Amino acid sequence: MERTEKIVVFSEKLRPFLPAGSEVYVAEFIVEKTVHFTVSKPRKTKLGDYRQPWDGKPHRISVNGNLNKYAFLITTIHEMAHLTTHEKYGNRVKSHGTEWKSEFKKLFQPLITRELLPTDVSMAVNNYLKNAKAASCSDDKLYRVLRRYDKDPSTLVEHLEQGDIFELKGKRFILGKKLRKRYECKEVNTGRTYRVLGLAEVEEVVTAEIEDSIRRY
């Protein structure tokens, strides 16, 4: 299959996951760099992943398929930047150091120029590009803007009321007072106090009936 044909094929496969007009840009990168690109099942610990060539295997990038189109694009560019950083510097630089930030900005700039993103996302991304962090969810403003485009937005810790009981990473907590970006929360089983990010996604809010039984216990 020729280069042009490959780009068309990849573009069509990526179209459902990316903002209109960005799929060709990503497909061209995948073909040019010979990337094994995977749309992954949801992972709690990461949104995307990059693996460098090893033992005859090509560059590998995977991105969670449950992300909305704008989050999927930003995560994809994030991983693409890891690839180009590795090509230029190998393992001699930090994963999210100055070199990676420079590559991320360079790769994202053409998309900003083409005005493919909604105004709110574009503004948040521009602000994020001034000092890109390890992940989009590390930037409060960008994360909040991207959540607007989720089909079924999850409940965050900051959405709860003080005293509510919720589950996070398989453990139950009672929400306490707010401490800047975090909340003081007590684990139900151990009584230990933890500081939990307000932007942490809650797995489940305990119902009033169960909550009463927990408190009586």
Q: Does residue 123 sit within a domain?
A: yes
Q: Same structural domain for residues 137 and 205?
A: no
Of 95, 129, 147, which closes a domain? 147
Residues 120 and 206 in one domain: no
* Sign of the CA dihedral running 154, 157, 159, 162: positive
How many structural domains are present in the chain?
A: 2
110 torsion bin: left (phi>0), alpha (psi -120 to 50), beta (else): alpha
Residue 175's CATH number:
2.30.30
Give the mean pLDDT of the chain: 88
Higher pLDDT, 132 or 199: 199
Which of 48-57, 124-133, 156-165 is predicted least confidently?
124-133
Are both 122 and 196 inside the same structural domain?
A: no
Which residues are CB-neighbours of 179 under 8 A, at least 6 positions away?
195
Which of 147, 174, 205 is the last residue before a domain boundary? Answer: 147
91 and 178 belong to one structural domain: no
Q: For residue 113, is it within any domain?
A: yes
* pLDDT at residue number 136: 56
Report whether pLDDT(137) > 80: no
19-28, 29-38, 41-50, 122-131: least confidently modelled range: 122-131
Task: State mean pLDDT over 2-7.
Answer: 92
Q: What is the DSSP string of 40-107?
A: EPP-SS-SEEEE--BTTB-EEEEEETTS-HHHHHHHHHHHHHHHHHHHHHTTSS-TTSHHHHHHHHHH
- Chain segment 176-198, per-residue pLDDT in tens: 999 888 899 999 999 999 999 88
Structural domain span for residue 35: 3-147
Q: Is the pLDDT of residue 15 over 70?
A: yes
In this predicted model, which residue has the larger pLDDT, 139 or 136? 139
Residue type, 168: L
Is 81 found in the same domain as 164?
Answer: no
Q: Is residue 31 part of a domain?
A: yes
pLDDT tens digits, residue range 34-45? 999 999 998 878
Strands 182-187 and 204-205, bridge-based pairing: unpaired
pLDDT of residue 75: 94
Residue 152 lies in a domain: no
Q: Which of 60-64, 73-77, 150-154, 210-214 has the lowest mean pLDDT?
A: 210-214
